[in-house]
Amino acid sequence: MGSAHTVAVYGAYGHTGRFVVAHLLERGFRPVISGRDAGKLAGLAASRPGLEARPAPVGDPDALDRALAGTAAVINCAGPFATTADPVIEAALRAGIPYVDVAAEIEAVLDTFAHHADRARAAGSVIVPAMAFYGGLGDLLVTAAMGDWTAADEAHIAYGLNSWHPTAGTRAAGQVSRERRNGRRVRYTGGRLEYRDDTPPTLKWPFPEPMGTRAVIGEFTMADAVTVPSHLRVPEVCTYMTVEAAGDVSTPDTPAPTPADDRGRSAQTFLVDAVVRADGTERRAVASGRDIYAVTAPLAVEAVARILTGRTRTTGVASAGEMFDAADFLRALSPHVSLDLRQ
């Protein structure tokens, strides 16, 4: 199926972008690599003969149009998404092709829903923001755990990372988010986002074995606080992060991830525990795997594959859980993610 489809990857030379390009090739797609830095694009093209490079400054609509010309879809991997999402979405709308990004920035994902929903729906276009480890995987797990429920009292997503070596892109995106919210933290409660100046709580989370109960930072809010309530009636959405990983990402001198296998993945492991509760009943979905950046690639590429073959549930701007059959999508990730649905 993929051999007939050319997919543009914006920010292809970045850490996550390289995983996306590699996974597109594995799936039989033909990637066209693009981004703001012509030199880095040339280097990536030289390392993978046959790739077509199309440099495109994010502020140059004509260059972006040329980058997307003749492609079937675009995956935006270039952060900070506060800078890149709007222009690349606009180029995708002009080209009449679907757009997928891997944004983890809460504010950027909110902007995508706010700025593009009406136009995308009117055009019958598909835009899926946060189709990544943060925002996408958690939303799929919560949606799958909900099953036939139409609403829940609360959703909890606990991230059990053994470590978190952030990329330069993660650090840049985090800085932009902090500036946009004036250094405040955010949580989703009472059916809305709430900005706070206090310190988030530290508590214990009972992860499934073999991880077991671990100390976590509560209200460590990620893009799930936007994606989950965008389509599910859940007034309380709380995310948690293991203390070790939270400490890594907040420490300025934590090094970037380094390859530890022949696929370029780091030694980082993760377990994501999603729990939904309604009227005293609890349902759960758990996913585990290796390297949060590497696993973003099959998430984004699977999304594109489903969009291009008509396996979608709506048009316009929608999160992963609304756009796709969540349980079926998760099962398709089985080569990369171990899954346990405990309804």
What residue numbers bound the domain in which 37 lies?
2-132+296-327
Q: Does residue 106 sit in helix, strand or coil?
A: helix
Assigned token pair, 90: 């606009």
| Same domain assignment for residues 137 and 285 | yes
CA atoms within 13 A on the CB side of 122: 5
Judgement on whether residues 303 and 285 belong to the same structural domain of the protein: no
Query: Same domain, yes or no, for 158 and 58?
Result: no
Q: What is the pTM of this model?
A: 0.97
* Residues 273 and 141 reside in one and the same domain: yes
Can you give the pLDDT of all 343 residues of the chain as single tens digits? 444 699 999 999 999 999 999 999 999 999 999 999 999 999 999 999 899 999 999 999 999 999 999 999 999 999 999 999 999 999 999 999 999 999 999 999 999 999 999 999 999 999 999 999 999 999 999 999 999 999 999 999 999 999 999 999 999 999 999 999 999 999 999 999 999 999 999 999 999 999 999 999 999 999 999 999 999 999 999 999 999 999 999 999 999 999 999 999 999 999 999 999 999 999 999 999 999 999 999 999 999 999 999 999 999 999 999 999 999 999 999 999 999 987 5
Q: Are residues 164 and 279 in the same domain?
A: yes
Q: Please give the pLDDT value at position 61.
A: 98
Q: In one letter, which amino acid is 61?
A: P
pLDDT at 258: 97
| CA–CA distance, 260 with 230 (Å, rounded to integer) | 37
Whichever domain contains 173, its CATH number is: 3.30.360.10
Residues 210, 128: contact at Cβ < 8 Å? no
Cis peptide before 80 (omega within 30 of 0): yes
Same-domain status, 169 and 147: yes
**pLDDT for the residue numbered 4:** 61
Query: Residue 313 gets which letter from DSSP?
Result: S
Residues 255 and 213 in one domain: yes
163 shares a domain with 112: no
Q: DSSP of 209-270, one letter per residue?
A: TTT-EEEEETT---THHHHTTTTSB-S-EEEEEEHHHHHHHHSTTPPPP---STT---S-EE
102, 150: one domain? no
Do 187 and 239 share a domain, yes or no? yes
Q: What is the pLDDT of residue 341?
A: 85
Say if residue 189 is in the same domain as residue 320. no
Task: Give the span between the Cα atoms of 218 and 221, in whole angstroms.
Answer: 8
CATH number of 88's domain: 3.40.50.720
Which helix (DSSP H) or strand (DSSP E) does residue 172 occupy? helix 168-180
The one-letter amino acid at 291: D
Please give the pLDDT value at position 2: 45
Residues 308, 271: one domain? Answer: no
> Rounded to the nearest 5°, which phi and psi values hold at 259?
-65, 140
Separation of alpha carbons 108 and 121, rounded Å: 19
Give the pLDDT confidence score for residue 343 in this predicted structure. Answer: 59
- With vertex at residue 307, the alpha carbon angle to CA 303 and CA 309, rounded to the nearest 5 degrees, is 120
Tally the domains of the chain.
Answer: 2
